[in-house]
Amino acid sequence: MSWCCFFCLQWATLRMERGAKEKNQQLYKPYSIIAKEPASLEQEIQEMRRSGSGLGGAEFDMSDIFYFCRRGVESIVDDEVTKRFTAEELESWNLLTRSNYNFHHISTRLTVLWGLGVLIRYGILLPLRVTLAFTGVGLLVFLTSIIGLLPNGGMKSFLSEKVHLMCYRICVRALTAIITYHDSENKPKNGGICVANHTSPIDVIILASDGCYAMVGQVHGGLMGVIQRAMVKACPHIWFERSEVKDRHLVAKRLSDHVADKSKLPILIFPEGTCINNTSVMMFKKGSFEIGCTVYPVAIKYDPRFGEAFWNSSKFGMVNYLLHMMSSWAIVCSVWYLPPMSREEGEDAVQFANRVKAAIARKGGLADLLWDGGLKREKVKEVFKEEQQKLYSKVLVGGLTGHFTGNTHLVHPLT
């Protein structure tokens, strides 16, 4: 089915391009990138002063205002941060209405093909997928509750792993997920932490369908709470109350206690803390890298041609997002298990986190960004703005040693 879908989408793309040429339409939106050479704040301001015949010394000059205005406009036009929180627009149409509005009504045959796709996706695939999803979740809750009644021991652990794998694989089928796992010899082992880039909530079942993990998260209510309580009966997952999440020492202690027990499953953590749009990896929170255990990096990369896996939580609720996923053609992704990494002598937690992040970005073909993903929901902290003001004040006193980031409204999170 995947090959049939692939050739169908390839034909649609070729037909769409030919139709656009016949109608003299612009098929793809031009995407401009502002080329910025890395330079210090002092160098760029001095250059602007010389071009404007302003002051050459370390005093305030009115032309300095134009530098900050220019940088602000550049950041608005080509901001490398906020555009990571919206779905990447495809250069081809995958016959999904939500993928690219420029591609609609290119030709009659494409419109008819899209209509047939709607009937197949919503009339046949969606009901089957919803049934599989309810079956997988129902079995997970029921069977883990029963296993939780057994005494702790080898039999309980064995049955728990088998049940988790079976149920997660049923849920993967509910998404028609086509997953390619690479370098399985590097799969996470007990007593370690698995860290991965984060694109979607389904990252969990993508990884857990190939191996069992101890999950880490906040306690929820409703259906999610029922699932959490059932899972923890069969396997030592780590759930935190809302009041405990902000207690870093408590979180670190519970994680340390877990990895110290080699009989317990590896912990699965997404250090970015939020979903990024499958194009980049953003700043890793340092907490999980302070524990001092072996870290198993994993890179996940989705193929958006068949369905968009990125969850824009500010635009779609969970139910709406899952319906979008289940009404797509398929979810195609690749998973790379990287060699285990340990903290080196003299390396602090931030440096270790950045080294792991860089390895994940290289393997997954993702952009390695230094920005904090928390900017997706939070405003820039005042202390970060003050750091930029301090940099400019050092220019005025002639003592600048740092480098300007290029985005006046965003600052390096590790400054």
Q: What is the pLDDT of residue 31?
A: 41
Tell me how far apart the alpha carbons of residues 81 and 38 are, in angstroms, rounded to a whole number. Answer: 17
Confidence of residue 43 (pLDDT cuts 50, 70, 90): low
Domain ranges across the chain: 39-81+377-415, 177-370
Beta bridge partners of 349: none
pLDDT above 90 coverage of the chain, percent: 21
Task: Tally Cβ neighbours within 10 Å of residue 234.
Answer: 23
- Report pLDDT digits (tens) over 8-25: 555 555 555 555 455 454
Report which DSSP code applies to 341: B
**Helices and strands (H, E) in the chain, number of each type:** 13, 9
Q: Could you tell me which residue, 115 or 408, shows the higher pLDDT?
A: 115
Q: What is the pLDDT of residue 42?
A: 60
Edge-first strand listing for the sheet containing 192-196: 177-182, 331-337, 294-303, 192-196, 267-269, 214-218, 238-240
pLDDT exceeds 70 at position 48? no
Beta bridge partners of 240: 218
Tell me how far apart the alpha carbons of residues 131 and 368 are, in angstroms, rounded to a whole number. Answer: 39
Tell me how far apart the alpha carbons of residues 34 and 80 are, in angstroms, rounded to a whole number. Answer: 11
Query: C-alpha 290: how far from its chain's center?
Result: 22
Task: Tally Cβ neighbours within 10 Å of residue 325.
Answer: 23
* Mean pLDDT value across the chain: 77
- Report pLDDT digits (tens) over 362-415: 998 888 888 777 766 667 767 767 777 777 777 676 644 444 444 434 443 333
- Report pLDDT digits (tens) over 222-270: 777 888 888 888 888 888 776 666 667 778 888 888 888 888 889 999 9
Confidence of residue 27 (pLDDT cuts 50, 70, 90): very low
Length of the chain: 415
Task: Tally Cβ neighbours within 10 Å of residue 343.
Answer: 20
Report which DSSP code applies to 200: -
- Which residues, 6 or more positions from 261, have their beta carbon under 8 angstroms from its beta carbon? 191
Q: What is the pLDDT of residue 194?
A: 93
Cβ–Cβ < 8 Å for 148, 234: yes
Among candidates 194, 136, 130, which has minimal Cα distance to 163? 136
Q: Which two tokens stand for residue 139?
A: 């079995």
Tell me how far apart the alpha carbons of residues 241 and 253 are, in angstroms, rounded to a whole number. Answer: 15
Report which DSSP code applies to 340: P
Least confident piece of the model among 91-105, 172-186, 287-301: 91-105
Query: Is the whole-model pTM more than 0.85?
Result: no
Q: Could you tell me which residue, 197 or 388, shows the higher pLDDT?
A: 197
Tell me how far apart the alpha carbons of residues 132 and 168 are, in angstroms, rounded to a whole number. Answer: 11
Among candidates 177, 178, 160, 280, which has minimal Cα distance to 215? 160
Confidence of residue 99 (pLDDT cuts 50, 70, 90): low
Cβ–Cβ < 8 Å for 187, 149: no
Place of tokens 């190939």: 210
pLDDT exceeds 50 at position 29? no
